[in-house]
């Protein structure tokens, strides 16, 4: 069965420190992986995605994520956190082998708090 | 900013009223989605459409209904609102070509039924 896990409900980091938001997945075929961010009272904004190719993907606002096939992970990272990065982060996966049932499977979200 | 719009942004309405949440996109996307989300919580897919006259129920059972008469428009209707319908509703769209494309989200409608 397809699934996504974000093992941490909340991540706290100090401004200027590196941040990592974790995501692991399970699909039967090759994964299409996505990260979205949601600021308070807003919709979701796309950050980055992995489809194929280079395992390190760079996205918006200085974020990047590394696809690790052996660990089935797609952790979101940023070298230096900003207070404005505080938001809810969602990881999502789509199974490339799911035929017509290629719905996005969403993680439960991780709340990131960056402290000044 | 994505060209997908939801109205109203906020709605407070009494129990038993009929409501329609509007969602429109100007990107020509074939796929459209409705998600329900309680504040700070996970997303639940309640309806989706892969094109005109195509609608399907999502993973979370919902008493709402949707229609897709035009590509750009995907309204969600509740015939009789109840307090249990209080939530945030997010509309999204994505292009038809390829399952690797990202979805674009509207700003959401926060519905409160009193």
Do the beta carbons of residue A116 and residue A16 sit within 8 Å?
no
Calculate mean pLDDT across residues A4-9: 96
CA distance B33 to B51: 11
- What is the least distance, in Å, from the CA of B42 to any CA of chain A? 5
- Give the per-residue pLDDT at A101: 58
Percent of chain A's residues with pLDDT above 90: 81
Calculate mean pLDDT across residues B98-109: 88
Q: Give A8-48 pLDDT, tens digit per residue.
A: 999 999 999 999 999 999 998 889 999 999 998 788 999 99
Whether B40 and chain A come into contact, CB under 8 Å, resolves to: yes
Q: Give B36-75 pLDDT, tens digit per residue.
A: 998 888 899 999 999 999 999 988 888 999 999 999 999 9
Whether A99 and chain B come into contact, CB under 8 Å, resolves to: no
Cα radius of gyration (chain A): 14
Q: In A39-86, where do the E strands start and end?
A: 44-50, 56-58, 64-68, 73-78
Q: Give A33-44 pLDDT, tens digit per residue.
A: 999 999 987 889
- Give the per-residue pLDDT at B47: 95
Q: What is the DSSP letter of B39?
A: T
- Give the per-residue pLDDT at B19: 96
Q: Which of B36, B95, B102 to mutate to test the interface with A (most CBs of A within 10 A)?
A: B102
- Give the per-residue pLDDT at A96: 80
Long-range contacts formed by A97-103: CB under 8 A, 24+ apart: A97/A27, A97/A28, A97/A29, A97/A30, A98/A2, A98/A27, A98/A28, A98/A29, A102/B99, A103/B45, A103/B48, A103/B58, A103/B59
Judged by average pLDDT, the poorest of A68-82, A88-102, B32-46 is A88-102
Q: Which residues of B touch A32 (CB under 8 A)?
A: 99-100
- Give the per-residue pLDDT at A103: 79
Judged by average pLDDT, the poorest of B52-56, B95-99, B101-105 is B95-99
- Give the per-residue pLDDT at A80: 97
- Give the per-residue pLDDT at B1: 54
Percent of chain B's residues with pLDDT above 90: 81
Whether B73 and chain A come into contact, CB under 8 Å, resolves to: no
């Amino acid at each position: 069965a397809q699934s996504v896990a974000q093992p941490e409900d909340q991540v706290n980091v100090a401004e200027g420190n590196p941040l990592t938001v974790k995501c692991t997945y399970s699909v039967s075929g090759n994964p299409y992986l996505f990260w979205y961010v949601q600021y308070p009272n807003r919709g979701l904004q796309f950050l980055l995605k992995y489809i194929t190719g280079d395992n390190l993907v760079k996205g918006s606002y200085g974020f990047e994520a590394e696809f690790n096939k052996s660990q089935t992970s797609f952790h979101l990272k940023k070298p230096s956190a900003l207070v404005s990065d505080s938001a809810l982060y969602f990881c999502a996966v789509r199974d490339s082998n799911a035929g017509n049932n290629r719905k996005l499977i969403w993680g439960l979200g991780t709340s990131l708090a960056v402290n000044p | 900013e994505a060209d997908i719009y939801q109205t109203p942004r906020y709605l407070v309405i009494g129990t038993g009223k009929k409501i329609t949440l509007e969602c429109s996109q100007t990107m020509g996307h074939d796929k459209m989605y409705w998600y329900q989300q309680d504040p700070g919580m996970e997303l639940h897919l309640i309806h989706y459409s892969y094109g005109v006259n195509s609608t399907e129920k999502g993973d979370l059972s919902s008493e709402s209904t949707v229609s897709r008469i035009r590509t750009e428009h995907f309204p969600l209707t509740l015939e009789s609102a109840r307090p249990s319908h209080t939530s945030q509703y997010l509309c999204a769209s994505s292009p038809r070509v390829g399952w690797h494309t990202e979805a674009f989200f509207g700003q959401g409608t926060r519905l409160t039924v009193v």
